[in-house]
């Protein structure tokens, strides 16, 4: 459960928070001063801090400054009363996540708190782009083994090693945001914040103020100064989603901030500087938008320096089985159940479908099937109707028509058929050998042999051995330790 640290010296507040956030929703930890809060952070590792700006002892701003030194990614929301708003604005410049005016309405409070917790999770949950095959240490990852995805992984590695602006393009649901997070997590800014702005979600004036901030009185309704994301995200990474939807006027400001790092708040004349790494994404065809003069050519070239194209799922049907396995594991973990298996005809159907909604649609289909399947296995009839009876527009191509003979399932397919006779006799021999706790002992023994084998094959090169085994190098190291494999083993 998420942990919220509340720093406030008023006992009343603590009581009302306990009522607003019942123990089933949040783990609430309280501190009555900045000093106490700072002491608690390294002990309890909260996911979010809510703090009054006015505190006895160490001030709210100073507490915030020190929290940022301990962990720049820990979101801090300031609570302010009438008259202390200016302090809250100062706090935003220091990188506070948001602020709340007292007295606050419970729905607004919950919206901000849960929004910040989502952002915190996105900053912490490392997205791996190494092959993930160990269901046991379930990790959030980018799954795929097709040549097109190998290119994607290479690009992620290059982009993570650089600080250049990145442009990610691809159809809806292909994983653009996931890739942006992987780049961030493996970049040198990974200990700094990651904030996301959806450029299509706000009308132009509001979007500009979201990105660059505004001065008091900049427009009707601008009753106080506001700090924008570029300023707030100093040293961090800003994910600009749907960049193809920017208006021409905002594109001009965007070009400038990308080129020189400078901008002004809306209605302001002070030039500000921000050191922010931008990762932009779009599902639009930007070349087309440039041709139609909806997108500035110079901004396009500025963004297009390093482009990462995500292939649609229908171009890599070989990845479907891997993704299915991954999502079965993920839902099982979410519901603390054993992963279900998938019948061979259901998998064949999934591999033939065209997936207009790409990986997101596949993820939803597997979730649907997991919920409706009555037994241990997901059958054809458990799949959503769109998949089993695609409408005319989504009809698979003639080459892969539903009546075509099913392709043989790739090796990673969830085992539906019984194992081959060899495996069956091997299993019975292994059971003979390990009578107590057979599953654990057999898996460990086999895995140890696999690790040894891979190390011998690669003459002890752990990077290559990990790749061969389809595990991360960290996992390989853990196995070497767990199985007491000597690093200097005689490799013959």
Tell me which of 60, 175, 228, 339 binds ligand ATP, using CB under 6 A. 175
| Residue 55 binding partner per list ligand ATP, Mg ion, none, with a CB distance cut-off of 5 to 8 Å that depends on partner kind | none
Stretch binding ligand ATP (CB under 6 A), from 51-59, 175-183, 209-217, 384-392: 175-183
**Between 74 and 196, CB nearer to ligand ATP:** 196
Task: Dig out the tokens for 50 from the structure.
Answer: 């809510």
Interaction residues for Mg ion, span 402-421 (CB under 5 A) = none
Contact between 176 and 170 under an 8 Å Cβ cutoff? The reply is yes
| Residue 360 binding partner per list Mg ion, ligand ATP, none, with a CB distance cut-off of 5 to 8 Å that depends on partner kind | ligand ATP
User: What values do phi and psi take at 9, rounded to 5?
Assistant: -90, 0
Contact between 348 and 409 under an 8 Å Cβ cutoff? The reply is yes
**Between 35 and 177, CB nearer to Mg ion:** 177
| Residue 275 binding partner per list Mg ion, ligand ATP, none, with a CB distance cut-off of 5 to 8 Å that depends on partner kind | none
Distances (CA, A) of 233 to 85, 98, 272: 20, 12, 13
| Stretch 172-191: interaction string toward Mg ion, x if CB under 5 A | -----x--------------
Distances (CA, A) of 424 to 430, 436, 447: 10, 19, 18
Nearest residue to the partner ligand ATP, using Cβ? 175
**Between 237 and 283, CB nearer to ligand ATP:** 283
For residues 434 and 447, give the distance between their C-alpha atoms in angstroms, rounded to a whole number.
Answer: 15
Distances (CA, A) of 27 to 48, 76, 84, 123, 456: 11, 16, 28, 20, 48
Minimum gap (Å) between residue 361 Cβ and ligand ATP? 9
**Between 61 and 143, CB nearer to ligand ATP:** 143
Contact between 302 and 165 under an 8 Å Cβ cutoff? The reply is yes
Among the listed residues 70, 39, 34, the one whose alpha carbon sits nearest the alpha carbon of residue 50: 34
Question: What burial letters (b/e) apply to 273-291, b meaning 16+ CB within 10 Å?
Answer: ebebbbbbbbbeebeebbe
Torsion of CA 389, 393, 396, 399, to 10 degrees: 130
367 binds Mg ion, rule: CB under 5 A? no
Among the listed residues 25, 11, 13, 217, the one whose alpha carbon sits nearest the alpha carbon of residue 104: 13
Listed as own residue / partner, the contacts of 466-471 with beta carbons closer than 8 Å and 24 or more positions apart are: 466/130, 467/131, 470/131, 470/132, 470/133, 471/130, 471/131, 471/133, 471/134
Minimum gap (Å) between residue 355 Cβ and ligand ATP? 11
283 binds ligand ATP, rule: CB under 6 A? yes
Please tell me the count of residues contacting ligand ATP according to CB under 6 A.
Answer: 17
Tell me which of 133, 178, 206, 222 binds ligand ATP, using CB under 6 A. 178
Among the listed residues 449, 456, 451, the one whose alpha carbon sits nearest the alpha carbon of residue 469: 451
**Between 323 and 480, CB nearer to Mg ion:** 323
Distances (CA, A) of 486 to 108, 440, 463, 483: 57, 22, 16, 9
For residues 470 and 93, give the distance between their C-alpha atoms in angstroms, rounded to a whole number.
Answer: 44
Stretch binding ligand ATP (CB under 6 A), from 102-110, 169-177, 221-229, 261-269: 169-177
169 binds ligand ATP, rule: CB under 6 A? no
Torsion of CA 415, 476, 308, 192, to 10 degrees: 130
Tell me which of 170, 193, 213, 236 binds ligand ATP, using CB under 6 A. 170
142 binds ligand ATP, rule: CB under 6 A? yes
Torsion of CA 36, 39, 41, 45, to 10 degrees: -120
Task: Dig out the tokens for 164 from the structure.
Answer: 């250049």
480 binds ligand ATP, rule: CB under 6 A? no
**Between 263 and 355, CB nearer to ligand ATP:** 355
| Residue 172 binding partner per list Mg ion, ligand ATP, none, with a CB distance cut-off of 5 to 8 Å that depends on partner kind | ligand ATP
Interaction residues for ligand ATP, span 320-349 (CB under 6 A) = 323, 326
Contact between 308 and 169 under an 8 Å Cβ cutoff? The reply is yes
Tell me which of 37, 173, 193, 228 binds ligand ATP, using CB under 6 A. 173
**Gyration radius of the chain over CA positions:** 26
**Between 133 and 430, CB nearer to ligand ATP:** 133
**Between 143 and 233, CB nearer to ligand ATP:** 143
Task: Dig out the tokens for 65 from the structure.
Answer: 């400054």
**Between 97 and 355, CB nearer to ligand ATP:** 355
**Between 164 and 201, CB nearer to Mg ion:** 201
Contact between 201 and 314 under an 8 Å Cβ cutoff? The reply is no
| Residue 167 binding partner per list ligand ATP, Mg ion, none, with a CB distance cut-off of 5 to 8 Å that depends on partner kind | none
Minimum gap (Å) between residue 309 Cβ and ligand ATP? 11
| Residue 390 binding partner per list ligand ATP, Mg ion, none, with a CB distance cut-off of 5 to 8 Å that depends on partner kind | none
Interaction residues for Mg ion, span 119-178 (CB under 5 A) = 177
Stretch binding ligand ATP (CB under 6 A), from 141-149, 183-191, 382-390, 441-449: 141-149
CB atoms within 10 A of CB 183: 28
**Between 89 and 279, CB nearer to Mg ion:** 279
Interaction residues for ligand ATP, span 359-378 (CB under 6 A) = 359-360, 363
Contact residues for ligand ATP, defined by CB under 6 A? 142-144, 170, 172-178, 283, 323, 326, 359-360, 363
Contact residues for Mg ion, defined by CB under 5 A? 177
């Amino acid at each position: 459960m998420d942990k919220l640290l509340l720093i406030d010296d008023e006992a009343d507040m603590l009581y009302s928070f306990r009522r607003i956030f019942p123990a089933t929703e949040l783990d609430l930890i309280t501190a009555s001063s900045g000093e106490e809060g700072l002491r608690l952070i390294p002990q309890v590792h909260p996911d979010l801090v809510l703090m009054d700006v006015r505190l006895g002892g160490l001030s709210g701003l100073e507490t915030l400054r020190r929290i940022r030194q301990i962990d720049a990614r820990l979101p801090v929301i300031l609570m302010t009363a009438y008259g202390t708003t200016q302090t809250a604005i100062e706090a935003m410049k220091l990188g506070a996540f948001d602020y709340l005016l007292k007295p606050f309405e419970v729905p607004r409070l919950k919206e901000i708190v849960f929004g910040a917790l989502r952002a915190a999770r996105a900053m912490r949950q490392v997205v791996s782009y190494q092959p993930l095959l160990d269901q046991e240490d379930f990790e959030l990852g980018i799954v795929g083994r097709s040549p097109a995805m190998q290119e994607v992984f290479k690009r992620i590695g290059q982009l993570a090693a650089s600080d250049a602006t990145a442009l990610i393009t691809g159809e809806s649901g292909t994983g653009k945001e996931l890739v942006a997070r992987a780049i961030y997590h493996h970049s040198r800014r990974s200990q700094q914040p990651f904030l996301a702005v959806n450029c299509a979600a706000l009308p132009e004036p509001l979007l500009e103020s979201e990105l660059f901030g505004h001065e008091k009185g900049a427009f009707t309704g601008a009753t106080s100064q506001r700090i924008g994301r570029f300023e707030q995200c100093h040293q961090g990474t800003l994910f600009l989603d749907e960049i193809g939807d920017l208006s021409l006027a905002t594109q001009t400001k965007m070009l400038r901030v990308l080129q020189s790092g400078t901008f002004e708040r809306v209605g302001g004349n002070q030039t500000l500087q921000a050191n922010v790494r931008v990762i932009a994404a779009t599902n639009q065809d930007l070349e087309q938008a440039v041709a139609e003069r909806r997108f500035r050519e110079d901004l396009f070239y500025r963004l297009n320096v390093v482009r990462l194209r995500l292939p649609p799922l229908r171009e890599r049907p070989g990845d479907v089985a891997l993704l299915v396995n991954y999502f079965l594991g993920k839902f099982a973990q979410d519901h603390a159940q054993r992963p279900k298996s998938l019948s061979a005809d259901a998998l064949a159907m999934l591999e033939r479908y065209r997936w207009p909604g790409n990986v997101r649609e596949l993820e939803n289909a597997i979730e649907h099937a997991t919920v409706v399947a009555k037994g241990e296995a997901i059958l054809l009839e458990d799949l959503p109707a769109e998949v089993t009876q695609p409408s005319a527009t989504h009809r698979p191509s003639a080459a892969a028509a539903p009546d075509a003979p099913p392709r043989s399932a790739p090796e990673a397919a969830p085992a539906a058929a019984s194992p081959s006779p060899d495996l069956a006799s091997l299993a019975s021999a292994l059971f003979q050998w390990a009578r107590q706790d057979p599953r654990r002992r057999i898996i460990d023994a086999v895995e140890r042999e696999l690790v040894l084998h891979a190390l011998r094959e690669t003459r002890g090169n752990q990077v290559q051995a990990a790749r061969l085994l389809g595990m991360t190098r960290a996992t390989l190291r853990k196995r070497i330790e767990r199985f007491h494999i000597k690093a200097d083993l005689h490799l013959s």
